[in-house]
Structure 1
Amino acid sequence: METRELRYFVAVAEELHFGRAANRLGIAQPPLSRAISGLERRLGTVLLERGSRGASLTGAGAVLLREARAALDAVEAAERRTRRAALAEAGRPAVALAAKAGASSELLAKLLDVYAAQPGAVAVDVVLCGPGEQASVLRTGRADVALLHRPFDDTAGLDTEELYTESQVVILPAGHPLGVRPHLRLAEVSDLPGLPLPRWPRPDGTFPEGPGPQVRDHTQLTQLIALGRACAVVPESGRSGLGNGLAAVPVSDAPRVTTVIAWPPHSRSTAVAGLVRAATAL
């Protein structure tokens, strides 16, 4: 299979419509249809069921979609890491570290300071990501190493070292009656009148259904909470840096969150190794 075919197939599988997929790819629909049909003939199976209103994935198609995404991520990562290796050979070495914007801020600051003090440290490019984006950024080569948070981030196929585990708190507007409680339960938090939980974007950019506001970043979220339009359950380290308009209350039955540092298992980067050593030392 060629990467071009895989890109074509992923576009159709995600759009579930040949016309929309062709527009997304910037090509005409007939060659796209021929390419998918040719791929099905060579694989000996139907990948997409065609209908008058669009297409749907078969079981085999769902498997190929998962595998094709991983393969295309690997190709993209190979290109980016090769370019960074070329820059290192040219005397401009650097390592890219991905972290979720607004999370692990204290750890990130300490990590950068500790690593910079190591012999042979190189420049660190910090890539701040939206919720759940760090693993994708790492797999596609936009970062060499990342701070991830279980159970929210997918660490499958990555090498990891656990850094610390913490409980979660709910962030409320300052002055809210529940702000003086010693703790709350998830059932109470999920049903607060006038303070719905936010809706974060899925990997495809769409938002789940629900009453909460659509939120894309930490700054937007904290402003909505301060305005009394939302609440949010976050790791306890999210307490740091809360403004006067916000309060935090422990959520006793929320799952604990483990922060890990992660990197591709085939990495041979001494800079990545140095960052991992610095993080585990902290």
Structure 2
Amino acid sequence: MDRLETRELVYFVAVAEELHFSRAAERLGMAQPPLSRAIARLERRMGVDLLRRTSRRVELTAAGSVFLEECLSLLDGLDSAVRRAQQASLPPRLVLAVRPGAGSGLIAQLLRSYDGVEPELLFTHDRTKALRDGTADVALVCVGSDDLAGLRTIELAEENPVALLPRGHTLAGRATVTATELRRDPAFAERCPPMGLDEMLDRVALGRLIAVVGSAAGERLTPEVCAVPVTDLPATTLALGWLEHTTRHSTRHMARPEITALVRAARRIAVDHARIPAGAS
């Protein structure tokens, strides 16, 4: 059969999500009869029933459920392709996604070793999603906890977890604490809030936040805040991650020059940290 059109995928997704032809037509800004005809034509072209229709309801068939998941992935990929093409037409720009609470030491070391456009920092918990949807170009990711499928990575450093506590807190004078103990305090955040480290330290100093971050954050402590090691949480291996784009006709790395330059800087840091042998590719 001929290749399906994007319009057909959009029509099907609307019906599959609404499970109601009239609501789907309203969502798409079209009349209901042509939408029904378009879905029926799509099913004929594919040779499978995607929807089960009765007088009272519309349901997805097994084939329809699979096709919905694939359509959503394809449409997301198309949106990302448009964003990346738009970004490629702009002046050189590099967005580095980092986790909230990340210490500045590793980032500063990376940027000192990098000769290129000044990166913009994006603080986000879902750094791999930022890479895949084109919001970020490169990211500091956590090996073993982030979804690294489809990414190239270079391991840079290992960080142990520490709790940021106000100096006057009852646990502040302890040599170590546990996450269980921290959870008893209503100010404890199970996940670091999506903000820069400076704002996080201000909130901790005011007694409004207790958070667990990487040990590198200790380089930025203020007099009102202390960092206490957390013994029942694992260490985190930080790595630089980026997408390796390919085409049907080539498996060559298609990264922009500024991304390639940052990757080279990361390799130099990895060698310094004895993560990989000198000269490794």
- TM beyond 0.5: yes
Q: Aligned residue for 2:157?
A: 164
| 1:177 Cα deviation from its structure 2 partner | 1.1
Q: Aligned residue for 1:81?
A: 84
Work out whether 1:146 is the aligned partner of 2:133.
no
Q: Which amino acid aligns with 1:268?
A: M
CA deviation vs aligned residue, 1:140-183 (integer Å, no higher than 9, x gap): 22333222223443211111111112211122222111111111
| 1:276 Cα deviation from its structure 2 partner | 0.9
Q: Do the aligned partners of residues 196 and 146 (structure 1) sit closer, same or farther apart at CA in structure 2, a change above 3 Å counting?
A: closer
Aligned-partner Cα distance in 2 for 1:255–1:174: 24
- Does structure 2 conserve the Cα–Cα contact (< 8 Å) formed by 1:99 and 1:126? no
Aligned-partner SS, 1:249: strand
Q: Which amino acid aligns with 1:257?
A: T
Alignment of 1:229-240 (within 5 A): 229-240=208-219
| 1:60 Cα deviation from its structure 2 partner | 5.5
Aligned-partner Cα distance in 1 for 2:125–2:118: 21
| 1:113 Cα deviation from its structure 2 partner | 2.5
Match of residue 217, structure 1, among 185, 195, 208: 195
- Does structure 2 conserve the Cα–Cα contact (< 8 Å) formed by 1:138 and 1:146? yes
Q: Do the aligned partners of residues 44 and 244 (structure 1) sit closer, same or farther apart at CA in structure 2, a change above 3 Å counting?
A: farther
Q: Do the aligned partners of residues 151 and 101 (structure 1) sit closer, same or farther apart at CA in structure 2, a change above 3 Å counting?
A: same
Work out whether 1:279 is the aligned partner of 2:273.
no
Aligned-partner Cα distance in 2 for 1:17–1:225: 49
Aligned-partner Cα distance in 2 for 1:32–1:254: 57
| 1:194 Cα deviation from its structure 2 partner | 2.9
Q: Aligned residue for 2:224?
A: 245
Work out whether 1:131 is the aligned partner of 2:125.
yes
Q: Aligned residue for 1:209?
A: none
Aligned-partner Cα distance in 2 for 1:227–1:16: 50
Aligned-partner Cα distance in 1 for 2:227–2:18: 41
Between structure 1 and structure 2, the one with the greater Rg is 2
Q: Do the aligned partners of residues 199 and 235 (structure 1) sit closer, same or farther apart at CA in structure 2, a change above 3 Å counting?
A: closer
Bigger CA drift: 105-114 or 93-102? Answer: 93-102
Aligned-partner Cα distance in 2 for 1:127–1:4: 36
Aligned-partner Cα distance in 2 for 1:140–1:189: 35
Task: Tell me how large the CA RMSD over aligned residues is.
Answer: 3.9
Q: Which amino acid aligns with 1:80?
A: R
Q: Do the aligned partners of residues 259 and 46 (structure 1) sit closer, same or farther apart at CA in structure 2, a change above 3 Å counting?
A: same
Work out whether 1:103 is the aligned partner of 2:102.
yes
Unpaired runs of 5+ residues, structure 2, are: 246-252, 270-281
- Does structure 2 conserve the Cα–Cα contact (< 8 Å) formed by 1:194 and 1:229? no
Aligned-partner Cα distance in 1 for 2:178–2:202: 23
- Does structure 1 conserve the Cα–Cα contact (< 8 Å) formed by 2:25 and 2:31? yes
Q: Aligned residue for 1:211?
A: none
Aligned-partner SS, 1:179: coil
Q: Which amino acid aligns with 1:109?
A: A
Aligned residues: 255
Q: Which amino acid aligns with 1:154?
A: D
Identical amino acids, percent of aligned pairs: 39
Match of residue 44, structure 1, among 33, 45, 48: 48
Aligned-partner SS, 1:176: coil
Aligned-partner Cα distance in 2 for 1:169–1:85: 39
Question: How does the TM-score come out when normalised to structure 1?
Answer: 0.69
Match of residue 186, structure 1, among 163, 179, 188: 179
Question: How does the TM-score come out when normalised to structure 2?
Answer: 0.70
CA deviation vs aligned residue, 1:75-111 (integer Å, no higher than 9, x gap): 2332233334444xxxx44444333354242222232
| 1:38 Cα deviation from its structure 2 partner | 6.3
Aligned-partner Cα distance in 2 for 1:165–1:82: 35
CA deviation vs aligned residue, 1:185-217 (integer Å, no higher than 9, x gap): 222223x233332567xxxxxxxxxxxxxx442
Aligned-partner Cα distance in 2 for 1:234–1:49: 52
| 1:226 Cα deviation from its structure 2 partner | 3.1
Q: Which runs of 4+ in 1 moved over 6 A?
A: 11-23, 35-38, 47-50, 54-59
